[in-house]
A and B are shown apart, each in its own frame.
Chain A
């Protein structure tokens, strides 16, 4: 290798150059480090309670500890890992590049969002260190506002503050997509990754403020001992549930839509085809964003909600299946007749399609009022949720991380280890969560660690699966870390993909593009020559 080129990573090595950077690529990496820390934390909690669940009795811990562990798992995974995962890491890194821009519209706001997120995260961490929270991630009142004897205030403030970080990111994305597209890059030439982030940002802007005020009201109620949801004063705890789910259902789409964007990029590249029905897939993201705001009542079929409201929410929830199914069918149609290559990112993408489909279809069971009553608050819900969030979003996140790893780091990971790990994670995931569908249907309630003996076999399978999953994640951490130091250097377009990010060097220079690119081709136009040209020459 000749003398190395200046890029965003080696332009400056001081700690200050990272802490005060306004480069969206560096901020993306800072987010990556932060959210992986919370992923580890949430994972450790999961391992601990999965071990406890291997026996029907109380073996390792008491109920108090168990409650704190599953709450810690839920809060860290949802608010401090899943919500920021793809947008704040891959979105931050890629969005400006995909648009042909030098940075996001508001680079300082972007840096501020990382600080705000980190402060929120530290408060969340504080709530764990000072004893944990025992309300579950849903903070239902009046338990959370009046009775819970744990660190509710710290956790609530942490989530409140981290929420503003996502609002900052979402606002930045929308403005950047509207105002900073390169010449020729019309709306329907945008990569679907960008469309997905646009839809996600709309939900973030309109939904997050509502959870912010709701969780703030809970904190105020606890701090000043005023009654807002307190039934003793005539307050209405169900009102909390309405406000909470008004955000927290759309939040599911904050967590899955960016993943769908990643999958579209990967599927197109590894089947060498334009995404089938590009415009419909783009519009289905917006449809999910809009419909998602009108289905929250499906969490409250048994919370004294009127039967007629329940029926409306049930029908609207079914409607969400349409745009979701459009995506799945169109990805499958893209695969049809494509020249498919099963590289690591593609394995994650195919895993996503299968697992998300199972997660989505079981969502229809839950939206059916009569079935909902049978499986409400059981492991069936837990399994459904994890098929969408882990089988969907986490798979997409790691698929995307592998896909753009050479771009972000300039290095290749071991392709063979990558493929093996993807398979290990797929097997571990299914072993962990599929038995939960069955045991939930048989009547195992969520959030209990003492259960009838006939359920033990399912819990043992689940814990065994979690162990396989943990091995997969650790293996991935090992080879990715290894690649940073010893990985083969990557060319600018190792996957021979179409997209502006593949036209600039790996890793990219700080300003991304020396000259603003002009886009005169459609997204995913794999008939283009440039997708196949050899570009090993650009290491200067």
Chain B
């Protein structure tokens, strides 16, 4: 394939046509997301096993999370998916300014989410609910309305609560890490948009980052009920 006028700058030399290149990127992204589903899937399976085994402990432990901030974060993240989708729409229309505007909005919402998450982590740290040697949990059967069951009376009850928090930190931590990576991708998008790399013929990176971001959003949609709502039967 010779590099003539019909060969646009964004077309890599080993592809024959922009369609082929775009379809390849898209399939690649979906395969990457399939891989991510299995990655988080392994975690969710492990969580489900323990949740099944220690249902009461998980309910009690989950009751110490802030449902309010969890719900606020859910709304914030869904809004960020909306702004990301609007950025992709601007890509289709070839509106470079619009891409930058909506990507920045998405980044702001993502930062709000991470900020709230950080505050929640700090709170858990103060309450000594971060798993490890310093973890301390004494079931308060009066004020926290911990039901007295065979399971909560288990001498290892605090251990089971700690298990919940291990999963809480690993799952939300890995989710937050994915968000940070997403923020990095968005910085890259802004640079590319500012350099006039995008047009209505070529906005694949915006589209792919959008797919990634919606995936991160969906993971949270599963995480929120799993960790914040398990105690609400």
Question: Chain A residues near B166 (CB, 8 Å)?
Answer: 226-228
15 residue pairs bridging A and B, Cβ less than 8 Å apart: A105-B24, A107-B14, A171-B28, A175-B31, A178-B27, A205-B34, A205-B35, A206-B35, A208-B35, A213-B42, A217-B46, A224-B131, A228-B170, A233-B156, A233-B163
Whole-angstrom CA separation of A17 from B13 in the bound complex: 18
Chain B residues near A224: list those with CB within 8 A.
131-132
- Inter-chain contact B35/A179, CB cutoff 8 Å: no
Q: A210-B41, A234-B163 are in contact. List 15 more A-B contacts (CB 8 A).
A: A101-B14, A103-B14, A172-B28, A175-B28, A180-B15, A205-B38, A212-B39, A214-B42, A217-B170, A224-B131, A226-B162, A227-B159, A233-B163, A234-B159, A236-B49
SS of A interface (majority)? helix
Given known contacts A175-B28, A205-B31, A102 and B38 CB-to-CB distance under 8 angstroms: no
> Of A101, A226, A234, which contacts B53 at CB under 8 A?
A234
Are B20 and A179 closer than 8 Å at their CB atoms? yes
> Which A residues are closer than 8 A to B by beta carbons?
101-103, 105-107, 167, 171-172, 174-176, 178-180, 205-210, 212-214, 217, 220, 224-228, 232-236, 239, 243, 246, 516
Task: Provide the bound-state CA to CA distance between A180 and B24, in Å.
Answer: 9
Query: How many B residues face the partner with a CB closer than 8 A?
Result: 41
B42 touches A210 (CB 8 A): yes
Contact B27 A175, beta carbon cutoff 8 Å = yes
* Contact between chains at A102 and B35 (CB < 8 Å): no
Q: A225-B132, A227-B163 are in contact. Are A171 and B31 (CB under 8 A)?
A: yes
The smallest beta-carbon distance between A220 and chain B, in angstroms, is 6
Contact residues in B for A205 (Cβ distance below 8 Å): 31, 34-35, 38
B96 adjacent to chain A (CB < 8 Å): no
| Complex interface: chain B residues within 8 A of A107 (CB) | 12, 14
- Are the CB atoms of A220 and B170 closer together than 8 Å? yes
In the complex, B120 has a CB within 8 A of chain A: no
A171, A220, A235: the one contacting B35 at CB < 8 Å is A171
The answer to whether B43 has its CB under 8 Å from any CB of chain A is yes
The distance in angstroms between the C-alpha atoms of A111 and B121, with both chains bound, is 38
Task: Tell me which residues across on chain B come within 8 A of A172, comparing CB atoms.
Answer: 28
A119 CB to closest chain B CB, in angstroms? 17
Which residues of the partner chain A approach B167 to less than 8 Å between Cβ atoms?
A: 228
CB 8 Å contact bits of B1-24 with A (1 = contact, 0 = none): 100000000001111100010011
> In the complex, which residues of chain A have a beta carbon less than 8 angstroms from the beta carbon of B32?
171
A-B pairs with lowest CB-CB distance, top 6: A233-B159, A209-B39, A226-B131, A102-B14, A209-B38, A213-B42
Is the pair B170, A243 in contact by a Cβ cutoff of 8 Å? no
* A233 touching B160, Cβ below 8 Å: yes
- For residue B45, CB closer than 8 A to chain A, the reply is yes
What does the 1/0 interface line of B156-189 toward A look like (CB < 8 Å)?
1001101100110110000000000000000000
Least Cβ–Cβ distance between B21 and chain A, in angstroms: 9
Which residues on the B side are within 8 Å of A175 (C-beta)?
A: 24, 27-28, 31
| Chain B residue with Cβ nearest A208 | B35
CB distance from A370 to the nearest CB of B (A): 29
- Cβ of A179 and Cβ of B45 under 8 Å apart? no
Instruction: Across the interface, name the chain B residue whose C-beta is closest to A205.
Output: B35
Q: Contact between A179 and B23 (Cβ–Cβ < 8 Å)?
A: yes
Q: Is B54's beta carbon under 8 Å from chain A?
A: yes
Closest to A512 in B: B14
A171 vs B163: C-alpha distance when bound (angstroms):
34
B28 CB, min distance to chain A CBs, angstroms: 5
